[in-house]
Chains A and B, each alone.
Chain A
Amino acid sequence: MTDQLARRAVRSLVWLAVLGPIPWLAWLAFSGGLGANPIEYLQHRTGHYAIRLLAASLFITPLRVITGWGWLIGHRRTLGLAAFFWALTHLSVYVGLDLFFDFGQFLDDVVKRRYITVGMLAIALLTPLAVTSSKRWVKRLGGARWNKLHRLVYLAMIAATAHYLWAVKKDITTPVIYFVIVAALLGFRLYMRARRKSGRHVAGEVTA
């Protein structure tokens, strides 16, 4: 019963997080709520959505381990794909609206500005993950290889956080919080792995 409730609540939350920003931004655009510099506003908002959803997708596994709710795994792909969608929107706002398809300037920025370089790296790392997110691809690659490939998500998250950190003008509080989150999540994964290994080791000793 409570499990059922939890499932429903989590599903609603995930879809709200994934789809909510679209009507919200549309409403702001129509009501003049994007402010004096709408392009900058969209640029920042879409970036925030992308990095938040990416962080949320990384929380699924630890949450699953802690709560024992195996069904959480179904939401990981949704969150990851949504993060990729917002990252692409973020890039499109920058290239299409801010630079108005000035590709010369775009390439110049990618090469010269390190926050843009790592931002592009984050999107580049997320792309194969988005492509191989379907069940068919899991089968095609095999679970182990698929898992290995999808560890790239941590690199993408680090790149995205560095992008945020280096883009900020002065107050680095929020990007630093993301770094702490990434470190904690990575730490959790390493801890789990160590525990699994030492568990095996202990078992080996017992049988010896």
Chain B
Amino acid sequence: MLIRRPADIPSSEITSESDYINRRSFMGAAGALALAGLAAPSVLSAAGATGRAQDDKVTSEEDATSYNNFYEFGLGKDDPKRYAGSLKTVPWTVAVDGLVKAPKRWDLNQLLAGLTVEDRTYRHRCVEAWSMVIPWRGVRLRDVLARLEPMPSAKFVEFTTLLDPRQMPGQRSSSSLTWPYREGLRLDEAMHPLTLLATGMYGKPMPNQNGAPLRLVVPWKYGFKGIKSIVSIKFTDKMPSTSWNDSIPSEYGFYANVNPTVDHPRWTQAKERRIGEFLRRNTLMFNGYASEVASLYTGMDLRKFY
């Protein structure tokens, strides 16, 4: 299935941002894309008929790699960049178990070998009402899941972050979340073509502070669904417990779809501050990906399943 790219936004407008291109050697990027065998280097789905997506400029790489929520390295936005150097990402294994044909520990390279690597620029909306536009690099989660051969009874996928307080100083304190961090998706959400397992951004390998070496990117959901430094993928038939939902269920749901009409109890979700901009902008339903993903939630009360 191809990703529909609405005609009102040529991909050239999205990918040719000067600060995006200038940040790297153009030839290097072109070479990498050629290697990956890509025709369409970038997909930023539009806001449908509203045409808002024209305003989506790629966030500066400096901002996207220095303003992070990654509590494993501290609660401050600048902590991950400061402390994530201690994370060792090579070698890296991902344990696959649960409702799967053959549970196995995969070496990361082996897990991703031969899969199509794509560059995709997505809006990224944090539940804290700020947002960015980030050029990710990665593979479709569905391609990885297909390789793992889940059983037909599998309904959900559960992901777990590395637990290692020696490498992740934030895990030495229990005042924020219970470790390890866990996230999950319904299987149909996981199989959606927009859902990525990212290994890089801005045409480079993933910085530690952004979730190296492997993180989830689900562009129509709040950022906390995008679990970082994944060491385990488990297929289940029950909705997995997820860290923020466990911690404060009244504020963070399992679905966590970006929804301007359902406020966080302590702030409005109707608007967001795009990093690098002064005025807040309107938040779009499903973060602007409604035409792609709204059908996943047909008939569901999104106020109840926030």
Whether B77 pairs with A35 at a CB distance below 8 angstroms is yes
Contact A40 B266, CB 8 Å, known A35-B77, A100-B280, A173-B175:
no
The 8 Å CB contact of A37, one of B71, B275, B279, is B275
- Judge if A63 is at the interface, Cβ distance under 8 Å: no
Contact A35 B247 (CB under 8 A): no
Whether B8 is near chain A, meaning CB under 8 Å from some CB there, is no
Q: Evaluate contact between B66 and A35: CB separation under 8 angstroms.
A: yes
Scan residues 51-66 of chain B and give those whose CB is less than 8 A from a CB of chain A. 62-64, 66
Tell whether A130 is near chain B: CB-to-CB under 8 Å: no
Contact A37 B75 (CB under 8 A): no
Interface residues of B in 177-234 (CB under 8 A from A): 177
Least CB distance, A171 to chain B, in whole angstroms? 5
A37-B67 contact given A100-B279, A115-B266, CB 8 Å threshold: yes
Which of A10-18, A145-153, A162-170 is the interface stretch?
A162-170
Map CB proximity to B onto A62-103 as digits: 1 under 8 Å, 0 otherwise. Answer: 000000000000000000000000000000000001111000
* A62 → B minimal CB distance (Å): 29
Q: Cβ of B282 < 8 Å from any Cβ of A? A: no
Q: Chain A residues near B261 (CB, 8 Å)?
A: none
C-alpha spacing A109/B267, complex, angstroms = 7
Q: Check: B241 CB closer than 8 A to any chain A CB.
A: no
- Per the bound structure, the CA–CA distance linking A179 and B14 in Å amounts to 49
The chain A residue sitting closest to B263, CB to CB, is: A112
Known: A36-B275, A37-B273. A170 touches B280 (CB 8 A): no
Complex Cα–Cα for A39 and B248 (A)? 26
Query: Within 8 Å of chain B (Cβ to Cβ): is A105?
Result: yes
CA distance A115 to B64 in the complex (A): 29
Known contacts A100-B279, A171-B75, A173-B175; A37/B248 CB under 8 A: no
| B280 CB contacts on chain A under 8 angstroms | 98-100
Residue in chain A with minimal CB distance to B59: A36
Taking a contact as CB atoms closer than 8 A, the residue among A36, A40, A166, A170 that contacts B176 in the complex is A170
| Contacting residues, chain A, for B175 (C-beta < 8 A) | 170-173
Give the nearest-CB partner of A166 in chain B.
B266
The answer to whether A36 and B128 touch (CB under 8 A), given A113-B267, A170-B177, A170-B248, is: no
Q: Which residues of chain A are within 8 angstroms of B276 by Cβ–Cβ distance?
A: 36
Contact indicator A171/B176 (Cβ below 8 Å): yes
**Set of chain B residues within 8 Å of A113, measured between Cβ atoms:** 266-267
A residues 156-195 near B (Cβ < 8 Å) are 166-167, 169-173
Query: Smallest CB–CB gap between B69 and chain A, Å?
Result: 9
Chain B residues, Cβ within 8 Å of A97: 278
Give Cα distance in the complex from A115 to B267, angstroms: 10
Counting CB contacts under 8 A, is A205 at the interface? no
Mark out the residues of chain A between 124 and 141 whose CB falls within 8 Å of any chain B CB in the assembled complex: none
**B116 is an interface residue with CB less than 8 A from chain A:** no
Task: Report the Cα distance A98→B175, complex, angstroms.
Answer: 28
Cβ-closest chain B residue relative to A32: B62
- Interface residue B237 (Cβ < 8 Å from any Cβ of A): no
Cβ of B97 under 8 Å from chain A: no
Residue of B with least CB distance to A172: B175
Residues of B within 8 A of A36 (CB): 62-64, 66-67, 77, 275-276
A105 CA to B268 CA, complexed, in Å: 9
B130 interface residue per 8 A CB criterion: yes
Q: Which of B243-283 contact A (CB under 8 A)?
A: 247-248, 266-268, 273, 275-276, 278-280
Q: Please measure, in the bound complex, the distance between the C-alpha atom of A173 and the C-alpha atom of B173, giving whole angstroms.
A: 11
Cβ-based interface call for B78 (8 A): yes
| Chain B residue with the shortest CB-CB distance to A112 | B263
Across the interface, which residues of B come within 8 angstroms of A108, CB to CB? 268
**Which residues of B sit under 8 angstroms from A170, Cβ to Cβ?**
71, 75, 175-177, 247-248
The proximity string for B residues 72-91 relative to A, scoring 1 for CB distances below 8 Å and 0 otherwise, is 00010110000000000000
Docked complex Cα distance between A105 and B270 (Å): 10
Q: A35 contacts B67, CB within 8 Å?
A: yes
Complex CA distance for A170 and B251, rounded to whole angstroms: 11
Question: Besides the contacts A36-B276, A171-B176, what 4 more A-B pairs have beta carbons closer than 8 Å?
Answer: A35-B67, A35-B78, A170-B176, A173-B175
25 contacts between A and B (CB under 8 A): A35-B66, A35-B77, A36-B62, A36-B64, A36-B67, A36-B276, A37-B77, A37-B130, A37-B273, A37-B275, A40-B130, A97-B278, A98-B273, A98-B280, A100-B279, A100-B280, A108-B268, A109-B267, A113-B266, A115-B266, A167-B266, A169-B128, A170-B175, A170-B177, A173-B175
9 closest A-B pairs by beta carbon, nearest first, are A36-B67, A36-B63, A171-B175, A171-B176, A170-B176, A36-B275, A171-B75, A173-B175, A113-B266
